[in-house]
A and B are shown apart, each in its own frame.
Chain A
């Protein structure tokens, strides 16, 4: 318990005394990896930070040409060519009931594996990769307005930040389609 407490403190003081940090970095990572830590690729939509388990992430693309599909839900923006694979692109904003994504220089497609399928998530940006210990993840609450619990696995706490960890299982198909 003591060690864990120490680690937590170290985390908080990450920008604190460099000496302490360096001398402990070895132990730090060792112990960290022995604890259950998940790594997330995070992106921000309307000031809310969302995270996708890095293990599900196949790659991150700059915005390629998207070919529209007819007769599909609006949040499916179309398909893109990923090295010969035709993969659907889900507009995460639209999927969460927010306004449709606008394409900017920061727009990215996070290609994730959902079951056997490869799916692109269209996001406004890719923020960073964060590490969160399992114990700092709370079950979904009604904190996140508008975003259905269908898509939320949990809420991760990283110091002052809250990261909404996504459950990708339901993101591609609407309820009727499932």
Chain B
């Protein structure tokens, strides 16, 4: 059984290792410079911490050693001892011993080093200089390690039955061995444990004999060592596992074999092998020597037991334990936070540079390499980007650790302290799920330990006194962690007697920290802060727990190292609260992402109370402040866009999303443009390279590499309160204007915006393909901004209405299209409906064109590439819209149903974005594409997702819906026919308008991924630009079920011809 100190072992080992390193370094320094008092202080502090943490995990011997060291160091600090080479030598030896103990523990063994020698040396070193030993607590009774020594093994008396059982077992091929199990002396219910082990062993072996006998173990006797003789065919490892019971400190085994000697059967006892314990060889041997003649010969009445010297097992055991030590050392790897930071940055780069592959992929595709290779490349590329993202989030999570693990380790401490001081203190833990950076978690254990010790020792009154004061006999120490603003607070509070102001004053004067005059002028807070000075203690007697005045100094130093601070709140008779505040430099926090115009901001979720949507008419103005009545409560509003001095992208009649946040005990509603959901973000400080910015807690880098600012509600509110005018309407001229700012980048922005443009109007079915790009909202602002100043071109150039439309527009159009009654309607009626819809659609279309025109300001680089100007683009749009409308009309005739259209989306788009525009890139689509050729070339693609495609085939064939479930030849021919009709209707319109000869070619049906379908289309065309002009619409049945999507894609040269033609 591996020895362990419980769940805190790793933490203890890490800490101890650090402390030891610090001790060694400082001691070397001290050797060079024996008078340096600050170094002595450092050594003293490290020794003190080591003592406390060792005692905490139950390594009493180590704690004792550290305590002695501390005594010696105290002498040096108090100048009663001087720093002689002897003392330094002793201290170095102490460190080596501690290092040994730690190494033993980390290899999973219980340390058995004899510490008396070294402790005696410390005392000699101290006594050599002063006549009296410096510590009042030099009693030797804490040598618990010693008492855990194994008791001498006794001769085993086998009964004849047992003997024959052993003989029989061995002859049948089983092996026989004697196990010696050492149970922790201090363990409770030792007999129960012994019986448990025996029961375990009985599963896998035949237990021949136990010493003491099983019957004895039934009763309540004090047994530390059990010897078990057993026969087994299992490996030693299995036996070890069977004995793996809590608080078994050591397990020895010696094999018993049968040999024949001088015609006598001999039971041969091999040398014992320690299965679950490892100790320094010399100690082991000395123990054995101490333990008496176990390696002698033992005789049985009828068989001589021969115990031959067996060196080998011993050696093997030693070798093995070396290996084990190596392995166990690897269990936790301590990685510096800096390295993690570096990694995180690197991975961020990886994610970004990975996007470069997409460009490469596009290039490959254009050059029409083997499709298989291209697809394989794409798969690999996507896999890689997934891995990179996983890696990123993995590393991010590595850094963050909930504080609960650190908190819970103090339950034990408080229990031990209770026993020690005869107090009744309960530890209350709050906020254990609060996540802190690993760096903080690593360091916070020590200050917490000191604070808790101080609280129990000094803070909490004796039970008697508490009773007298009428306080609850059971005192409470509370650990609390929470996040507030851009800090994480960790509190240790007690309900004890509070700090004694007068005592602190006295001690401060005594220690020459201040003069009485100074103190008279000091705030209470400043006076309390004296307790953080090194060596400050008001305690009259020094216990080994606290009172040396080191603890608080450690607290202060560690907390400041983490850029935090400690505050003391205390009330005489009520208790004391230590509040440690840490900046959450790298804390991951959940946040609500909000958008204002195109800018993304994060509101820490901890500040958010709720999110609501309000409409403009709910807003009332009281003394110039905007408020709403939220469930009977007046809620002040702040337009976040005013704070950030940017125009809101909300339309006046739109509902306004409001994030209700709390600060202090007040609430305010932040009006934003859009809510983008919850996200976990890593806070990066702005101070690192700049400074604190009012209203911001920091920045966060989002997955795409962009930066989003994190709001700090309380500092924002401070700013708002001091500058009330932020709440007032600003002169919008001052507002940030992307259009003005980004000369060059504008076209890209516009492109991104168009690509992701949300389609206005509710009557038109909105296709669900908007990508949620950051530019969405801002595009609207552009349009609003330009609406007033730039005459909308579409108005000057209205769509030339089709004759039918004109007639119908004079008829009364019902407010709402009638309930859908497909099939039975007469052709006339259907046609009428279709026209109604188309008419409505036409209006929307015009709106849409106006919108698009207003929004899509110059697409400079496309203009350059294609030699087009805005007017050209507008004309192409009109053309496409007319064509698609015509197609819809024809489709509805074929299907005998009403057809709804989404507003045709006519835009420039990056070629590689086309597949995802149309649908999910991971799904298979049925498509029919009709290439057209003549003066201009291109392709019309009509695509459906599988299910809808099958439904459509059913409709075309007049079979019942759901019948077709695979693409048959019949289905294909139906689709081809559909392609012919719909395709040619579009082509006819275009040919007509352009007075060109264009012919549809034979339709092709595909059943493949969208990417593959488009690849085969693009292969036919010369697409020279990175961007293609696509015209694309979703078609719907009357009942809103989607039919499919239609895409018109002229090739680059044809686009130029179209443009030329339209200009004439």
Interface residues in chain A, defined as those with a beta carbon under 8 Å from any beta carbon in chain B: 63, 65, 67-72, 76, 79-81, 83-88, 102-105, 107, 117-119, 172-173, 177
Contacts and interface: CB of A to CB of B under 8 A. Distances in A.
Given A83-B349, A84-B344, A86-B684, A65 B696 contact: no
A119 B689 contact: yes
B706 interface: yes
A59 to B, nearest CB: 13
B699 A86 contact: yes
A103 B690 contact: no
A103 B699 contact: no
Given A83-B345, A103-B741, A172 B690 contact: yes
Given A81-B706, A87-B689, 6 more contacts: A65-B707, A70-B643, A70-B693, A84-B341, A88-B689, A103-B745
Given A70-B644, A81-B707, A86-B701, A63 B688 contact: no
Contacts, number: 90
A104 B743 contact: yes
For the complex of A and B, 5 pairs with smallest distance between CB atoms: A84-B345, A67-B707, A88-B690, A87-B689, A117-B689
Contacts of A71: 693-695, 719
A66 to B, nearest CB: 9
Interface string B753-793: 00000000000000000000000000000000000000000
Contact of B348 (A84, A103, A105, A117): A84
A117 B699 CA distance: 16
A102 B699 CA distance: 25
Given A79-B699, A84-B344, A103-B744, A68 B688 contact: no
Nearest to A88: B690
B34 to A, nearest CB: 36
B559 interface: no
Nearest to B644: A70
Contacts of B344: 84
Contacts of B745: 63, 103
Interface in B669-724: 684-686, 688-691, 693-696, 698-699, 701, 705-709, 719
A83 B644 CA distance: 26
A86 B708 CA distance: 10
A103 B707 contact: no
Given A84-B348, A84-B701, A86-B699, A72 B707 contact: no
B716 to A, nearest CB: 9
A79 B345 contact: no
B744 A104 contact: yes
Given A67-B699, A69-B696, A71-B719, A85 B744 contact: no
A68 B701 contact: no
B389 to A, nearest CB: 15
B599 interface: yes
Contact of A65 (B699, B706, B719, B743): B706
A94 to B, nearest CB: 12
A176 B415 CA distance: 55
Contact of B645 (A70, A81, A86, A172): A70
A10 B690 CA distance: 44
Nearest to A113: B689
B158 interface: no
Nearest to A90: B690
Contacts of A103: 741-745
Contacts of B646: 68
A107 B478 CA distance: 57
B437 to A, nearest CB: 16
Interface string B724-746: 00000000000010000111110
Contact of B689 (A65, A67, A85, A102): A85
From A85, A119, A177, name the one whose CB has the most chain B CB atoms within 10 angstroms. Answer: A85
Contacts of A70: 643-645, 693-696, 709
A79 B686 contact: yes
A87 B643 CA distance: 22
A177 B687 CA distance: 13
Nearest to A76: B690
A46 B271 CA distance: 92
Contacts of B645: 70
A69 B693 contact: yes
8 contacts: A65-B707, A67-B706, A70-B645, A71-B719, A76-B690, A84-B701, A117-B688, A173-B691
Given A84-B348, A85-B688, A72 B701 contact: no
A76 B745 CA distance: 19
Interface in B515-567: none
Contacts of A172: 690
B709 A69 contact: yes
From A65, A71, A85, A118, residue with most partner B Cβ within 10 Å: A71
Nearest to B707: A67
A107 B743 CA distance: 11
Contacts of A119: 689-690
Of the candidates A69, A84, A172, the one having the most CB atoms from chain B within 10 angstroms of its own CB is A84
A36 B695 CA distance: 47
B744 to A, nearest CB: 5
Nearest to A65: B706
Nearest to B349: A83
A117 B691 CA distance: 10
B706 to A, nearest CB: 6
Nearest to B686: A86
Nearest to A117: B689
Given A67-B709, A103-B742, A86 B689 contact: yes
Nearest to A85: B689
Contacts of A86: 684-686, 688-690, 698-699, 701, 707
B644 A117 contact: no
Nearest to A77: B741
Interface in B628-644: 643-644
A85 B345 CA distance: 8
B705 A81 contact: yes
Contacts of B696: 69-70
A105 B747 CA distance: 13
A87 B707 CA distance: 10
Contacts of B699: 67, 79, 86
Nearest to B690: A88
A79 B744 contact: no
A28 to B, nearest CB: 40
Most chain-B Cβ atoms within 10 A of its Cβ — which of A67, A72, A104? A67
Contacts of B708: 67
A177 B348 CA distance: 32
A119 B707 CA distance: 16
Contacts of B688: 85-86, 117
A86 B690 CA distance: 9
Contacts of A87: 689-690
A114 to B, nearest CB: 9
Given A67-B699, A70-B644, A84-B348, A117 B690 contact: yes
A81 B707 CA distance: 7
A58 to B, nearest CB: 11
Nearest to A70: B644
Contacts of A83: 345-346, 348-349
Contact of A79 (B694, B695, B707, B743): B707
A60 to B, nearest CB: 17
